[in-house]
Amino acid sequence: MKVTDYIKNANETLFSFEIIPPLKGKGIENLYEGIDPLMEFNPPFINVTYHREEFIYKNMGDGLLKKISIKKRPGTVGICAAIMHKYKVDAIPHLICGGFNLEDTENALIDLQFLGVDNILALRGDPIKSESVFTPSSGGHHYASELIGQISKMNEGKYLDDERQNAPTNFCIGAAGYPEKHFEAMNLNSDMKHLKEKVDAGAEFIVTQMFYDNAKYFDFVDKCRTVGIDVPIIPGLKPITTLKHTTFLPKFFHIDLPETLSNELEKCKTNADVRKVGIEWGIEQAKELKSKGAPVLHFYTMNKSTAVKEIASAVF
């Protein structure tokens, strides 16, 4: 079932969350341990991220270098199949530009169609660690809007280098939105222009980057509506639970923490202190978003469910 249909048919705000495929060598039971405690909140769908393979070059002597994979996560497609089979909910795979050429993308979409996946979250993806800026694969997409365009064409039965009328896919396409703007955008208005391009290319719903100031989400929604973006906008949330989060999240995700929240976090001496503040803030943030009609509250769990469960228990 499509995300847009879930939202249209819902009488109240829905609950959903995102998981990360386990690192190489870890089994799927690690994922289930993070999913099981959250199923009581009846998520209609679960997002599954995609991560590019990363390499290092090991000096083998005599001027020879050996390319070694240091980060490889199990296939997103297989994990989606496992989730759909075990939990009987829709899985939403992330599909990214990096690491794919156009044929790779088409083949991935064909596999997902065969699997019965109805929704795709289409993203450009981040640069790998060895890149200072995002570099597309040879023959791949530079921007998420281009990826969305390819999916939209397949929804019309238009495949690569094939003049025949093929069986159309029927994916509901999601895109990412940034209430505090994408870090590469010149300003929020230019970022809004790029988001409109994604919607015009075929995106039917938006999932936002995490944020901690609800006013920024509401302002973002208003700006979207002003420029003609009328698709559902799902707020993305993540509880702050460790001292590391207080510096890592602003730095890595290019977001600000509200002064009221940062003042409380600065008083914290331990992870337990931070967790208490973060959960209390998350509960109030989620309650306000729900009361003002957010279509879905979407949580970034990082495969750790306890804090999200505490928030959801207080809100749903």
Total domains in the chain come to: 1
Residue 53's pLDDT is what? 65
Token output for 235: 């707020």
Residue 57: how many other CB atoms lie within 10 Å = 11
Q: Which residues are catalytic?
A: 18
* 202-248 pLDDT per residue, tens: 999 999 999 999 999 999 999 999 999 999 999 999 999 999 999 99
What is the DSSP secondary-structure string of 127-161?
A: PPTT-SS--PPTT--SSHHHHHHHHHHHHTT--TT
Structure tokens at 126: 């981040």
Residue among 207, 218, 139 at smallest CA distance from 172: 207
Q: Is the dihedral of CA 218, 222, 223, 228 positive or negative?
A: positive
Calculate ∠ Cα 120-229-234, nearest 5°: 50
Mean pLDDT of all residues in 23-50: 92
For 243-258, what is the mean pLDDT?
A: 94
CATH number at residue 210: 3.20.20.220
- How far apart are alpha carbons 221 and 192 in whole angstroms? 11
Residue 207: closest CA among 88, 286, 125, 122 = 122
- For 284, phi then psi, to 5°, come to -65, -40
What pLDDT does residue 27 have?
Answer: 81
pLDDT confidence tier of residue 28, bands split at 50, 70 and 90: confident
Distance CA 305, CA 309 (A): 6
* Per-residue model confidence (pLDDT) at position 55: 61
Its domain, for residue 120, covers 3-315
pLDDT value at residue 9? 98
75 confidence band (pLDDT: 50, 70, 90): confident
CA atoms within 13 A on the CB side of 200: 9
pLDDT at 56: 61
Q: pTM for the whole thing? A: 0.92
